[in-house]
Amino acid sequence: MFGMAEMKHSIRVVSLKTGLTPHVIRVWERRYGAVKPERTGNNRRLYSDEEIERLCLLRRAIAAGHSICHVAGLSQDRLSRIADEAEHDRQAHPVPTAPEHCIEECLASIRRLNTRELEESLAKGIVTLGQHGLLERVIGPLAQRIGDLWQDGSLMAAHEHFASAAIRGFLVRTAKPFSDNNASPVLVVTTPAGQLHELGAVMVAAAANDLGWRVVYLGPSLPAAEIAGVAAQNHARAVALSIVYPEDDPRLGPELEALRAYLPAEIALLVGGRAAEGYFETLGKVGALRPNDFKDLYRHLGKLRAGGGKQVRGVS
């Protein structure tokens, strides 16, 4: 009797089965030799069922606190024992603060302005929590902490800018790929003129990418006319703004009103951030969508993506 050929899987399928991003899988392969997939004639990776199982075991080991460089070369049996022991320990001694621990690690790295340490902490977080979980349970609260520490003088503006750049770079490298990216609706993300803190905008861009938007990220502090010009040029479905500080800039209200006037009526305006409440009346006047938290942001982005080019009003 002839044996059945073993099924091989693309990196996209492996990513779905293991919960690891394609970026993480490639790094584990190239840097640590964790798996050795076959290559097709056009150099595409193909993974076996055994390699998928191995990647799942590696993820469990890392979630238990092991470093990838220490476990990547272990046998399948040894990895399985480590993962089972970690699960037993977790049930016997539950540790409910894994995201908080990750946040503290990230803050320590930011204080030291250490990019490598910060990226390692974020990488552990994305392995444990996934992209969505990392954004909602680590980077969102981390941004809040950074803002609080900056306002009370515990962190310098340089730390905030360092964190924004490092986190943005990490999220760009680990972003979920979409094969129909060119056909996806466009979201323009930026901060309005005078708003120099961009970490909130970085998070919005990452969340939108996670939901399948094609994101045009413009960085911080752009005047209304330029934002509207980019949105029109790219046939955007929506513009997202982050407002972090200050809460009482007298120039910002007219900027928001000008942006709404410049934008075609069918382009939605989405505005959030810790200082957005300070401009409540203006945001109501221009019909801006105002997410209350990260879950609400995902809901707004999901409705806008599904709702075509029509402005979604009255979403609460």
pLDDT digits (tens, 9 = 90+) for 287-307: 999 998 888 899 999 999 987
> Is 80 found in the same domain as 122?
no
For 153, the token pair is: 């003088």
- State the residue for tokens 């540790």: 95
DSSP 8-state symbol, 139: I
110 pLDDT above the threshold of 70: yes
> Is 156 found in the same domain as 47?
no
> Is 20 found in the same domain as 83?
yes
Q: Is 194 left (phi over 0), alpha (psi -120 to 50) or beta?
A: left
Q: Summarize pLDDT for 171-229 with one digit per residue, the tens.
A: 888 876 544 457 789 999 999 999 988 888 998 998 998 888 999 999 999 999 999 99
Domain count of the fold of the chain: 3
pLDDT score recorded for residue 91: 62
Q: What range defines the domain where residue 222 resides?
A: 180-306
- Mean per-residue pLDDT over the chain, rounded: 86
User: Could you say which of 130, 155, 172 is where a domain stops?
Assistant: 172
> Is 198 found in the same domain as 153?
no
Confidence band of 90 (pLDDT split at 50, 70, 90): low
What's the rounded Cα separation, in Å, for the pair 260 and 281?
A: 14
User: Could you say which of 120, 138, 172 is where a domain stops?
Assistant: 172
Asked if residue 270 is part of any domain, the answer here is yes
53 pLDDT above the threshold of 80: yes
123 pLDDT above the threshold of 80: yes
- State the residue for tokens 């800018």: 161
- Please count the other Cβ atoms lying within 10 Å of the Cβ belonging to residue 182: 8
3-state secondary structure at position 66: coil
Q: Where are the beta strands (DSSP E) in 157-274?
A: 186-190, 214-217, 238-242, 268-272
Asked if residue 205 is part of any domain, the answer here is yes
> Is 105 found in the same domain as 73?
no
User: Could you say which of 92, 108, 126 is where a domain stops?
Assistant: 92
1 pLDDT above the threshold of 50: no
Asked if residue 1 is part of any domain, the answer here is no
96 pLDDT above the threshold of 80: no
pLDDT score recorded for residue 3: 43
Phi, psi for residue 219 in degrees, rounded to 5: 80, -170
Asked if residue 257 is part of any domain, the answer here is yes
Asked if residue 55 is part of any domain, the answer here is yes
pLDDT score recorded for residue 263: 96
Domain of residue 230, CATH code: 3.40.50.280
Report, in this order, helix, strand and coil percent for the chain, each rounded to 5. Answer: 60, 10, 35
* Mean pLDDT score, 39-50: 90
Asked if residue 2 is part of any domain, the answer here is no
Domain of residue 26, CATH code: 1.10.1660.10
For 164, the token pair is: 């924004």
**Which residues 6+ apart lie within 8 Å of 4 measured at CB?**
none
Q: How many percent of the chain have pLDDT more than 70? A: 90
> Is 184 found in the same domain as 164?
no
Confidence band of 115 (pLDDT split at 50, 70, 90): very high
CA distances from 261 to 227, 249, 258, 264 (A): 12, 20, 5, 8
Q: Summarize pLDDT for 125-135 with one digit per residue, the tens.
A: 888 888 888 98
> Is 60 found in the same domain as 151?
no
> Is 300 found in the same domain as 221?
yes
